[in-house]
């Protein structure tokens, strides 16, 4: 579908910009995704102009009908985009004017592309966050579901990637639940930074018409207009908040994926990933690679790069609007896409994972994971000072390594050799579940404490 190629700002100029200038200036190649929010904001602006008498009711009716047609054409892929018209805002207005004539030229009265693009990106970011919120809650619900099923399953806790102590699988999973729950809290804070409407700020000093900014703010779902029009068009703090949110979200995603990749390896074997979240090798038929987890881990660097790019872009920019800010949408749209993929990707991994308790128990045994329990037993039952008890437990591990034994296979004679006296451990002492039950305190891996965590987490999800 054709549309006029004349710049909407052509009046001051005698000749067209060069092709390279046009190529550098265009943003339609990426900002076309804003068309729905741009039309939504334009409708609110036009309705307000009619209310305050700047345009007639007949003008508004024509604009409303024309914008509906423009939106339908873009949605159907019938509106051809051109670098000559630079951005989505000029495409919408240009096509509107083709449809309804000179009345379409009245739409931009009392606004600038400065406040227009600001309100569009506010709306677009807010909608993305609302979508992310639902995806994040679905992820939290899945983690909680798996944790509830893992209340009696033994898992392994690591420090320095070395076997440390046995924990419940539920406890391990809940560590990620609480990390992602903080992302939900930060998401709500980020939404709050989008509560002001920039529409009506015009280029920077406000409009030369009796506009009603409170009216457009209310219609578009904002709490109120920005209190300062210069700040409204220059501000990108809400995008910084968004990028930091995505970056921190991906730090948690990346750590989860790192665990998954390691635990899925043959050497560990703690988890098995299903076909839905793995891929094969082009040359090695036996391979079943955790590519999705690896790609999500890699995206953590990508979104961090978007945050750093915006920070660098904003540094030193004078007030108010500068064309440098056109680049903000490149970072924003990419991070929104990555956030969507990350949240859905982790949910898919958790929907296609099997936890291998037998392999975990074997590694806990060969990793001498109950050494601390031995030291604590000597302190508690025999009154041995902890440092001395620690040495006995360490000697026991050394003895096992030299003699090809495990802690649970040591005999009474072995213990007398190790400790210099008879030691008698209760039946079942070396069962990892017994060790887990001995942990104490709120937030511990003790089954009762874990159950309390699950109850608290379920309540958290209800309240959010």
User: Dihedral (C-alpha) 35, 36, 42, 43: value to the nearest 10 degrees?
Assistant: 150
CA dist 308 and 302 (Å) reads: 10
Compute the chain's Rg from CA coordinates.
Answer: 31
Q: Which of 408, 428, 309 is nearest to 367 (CA)?
A: 408
In degrees and rounded to multiples of 5, residue 8 shows phi and psi of -70, -15
CA dist 2 and 5 (Å) reads: 9
* Total Cβ atoms within 10 A of residue 305: 15
CA dist 82 and 167 (Å) reads: 60
- The single residue of 29, 265, 281, 351 carrying the catalytic annotation is 281
- The single residue of 15, 160, 282, 413 carrying the catalytic annotation is 160
CA dist 457 and 443 (Å) reads: 12
CA end-to-end span of the chain, whole Å?
46
User: Does residue 171 have an active-site annotation?
Assistant: no
**Which ranges of 150-236 does DSSP label H, i.e. alpha helix?**
169-192, 213-219, 229-234
Q: Which of 348, 436, 434 is nearest to 172 (CA)?
A: 436
CA dist 209 and 109 (Å) reads: 8
CA dist 341 and 221 (Å) reads: 27
Which residues 6+ apart lie within 8 Å of 252 measured at CB? Answer: 176, 179, 180, 183
User: Does residue 281 have an active-site annotation?
Assistant: yes
**Are 165 and 372 within 8 A, CB to CB?**
yes
**Are 124 and 34 within 8 A, CB to CB?**
yes
Which residues are catalytically annotated?
A: 160, 281
């Amino acid at each position: 579908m054709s549309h006029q190629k004349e710049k909407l700002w052509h009046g001051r100029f005698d000749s067209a910009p060069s092709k390279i200038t046009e190529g550098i200036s265009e943003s339609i190649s990426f900002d076309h995704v804003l068309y729905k929010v741009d039309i939504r904001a334009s409708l609110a602006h036009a309705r307000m102009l009619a209310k305050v008498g700047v345009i007639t009711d007949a003008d508004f009716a024509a604009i409303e009908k024309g914008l509906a047609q423009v939106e339908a054409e873009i949605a159907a892929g019938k509106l051809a985009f051109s670098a000559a018209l630079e951005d989505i805002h000029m495409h919408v207005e240009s096509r509107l004017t083709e449809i309804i004539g000179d009345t379409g030229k009245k739409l931009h009265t009392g606004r600038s592309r400065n406040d227009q693009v600001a309100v569009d990106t506010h709306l677009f970011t807010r909608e993305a966050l609302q979508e992310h919120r639902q995806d994040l809650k679905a992820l939290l619900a899945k983690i909680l579901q798996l944790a509830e099923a893992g209340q009696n399953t033994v898992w392994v806790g690591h420090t320095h990637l070395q076997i440390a102590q046995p924990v419940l699988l539920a406890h391990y999973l809940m560590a990620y639940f609480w990390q992602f729950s903080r992302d939900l809290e930060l998401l709500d804070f980020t939404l709050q930074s989008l509560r002001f409407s920039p529409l009506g700020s015009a280029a920077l000093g406000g409009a030369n018409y009796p506009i009603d900014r409170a009216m457009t703010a209310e219609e578009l779902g904002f709490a109120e207009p920005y209190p300062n029009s210069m700040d409204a068009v220059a501000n990108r703090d809400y995008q910084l908040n968004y990028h930091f949110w995505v970056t921190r979200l991906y730090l948690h995603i990346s750590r989860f994926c790192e665990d998954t990749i390691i635990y899925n390896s043959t050497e560990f074997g703690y988890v098995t990933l299903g076909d839905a979240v793995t891929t094969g090798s082009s040359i090695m038929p036996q391979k079943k690679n955790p590519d999705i987890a690896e790609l999500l881990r890699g995206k953590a660097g990508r979104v961090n790069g978007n945050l750093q790019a915006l920070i660098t872009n904003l540094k030193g920019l004078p007030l108010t609007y500068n064309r440098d800010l056109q680049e903000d949408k490149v970072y924003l749209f990419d991070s929104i896409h990555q956030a969507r993929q990350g949240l859905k990707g982790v949910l898919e991994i958790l929907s296609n994972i099997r936890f291998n308790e037998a392999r975990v128990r074997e590694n806990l045994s060969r990793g001498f994971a109950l050494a601390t329990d031995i030291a604590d037993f000597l302190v508690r039952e025999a009154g041995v000072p902890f440092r001395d008890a620690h040495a006995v437990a360490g000697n026991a591990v050394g003895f096992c390594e030299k003699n090809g034994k495990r802690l649970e296979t040591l005999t009474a004679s072995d213990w007398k050799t190790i400790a210099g006296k008879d030691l008698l451990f209760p039946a079942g002492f070396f069962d990892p579940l017994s060790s887990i039950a001995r942990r104490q305190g709120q937030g511990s891996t003790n089954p009762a404490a874990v159950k309390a965590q699950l109850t608290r987490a379920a309540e958290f999800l209800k309240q959010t």
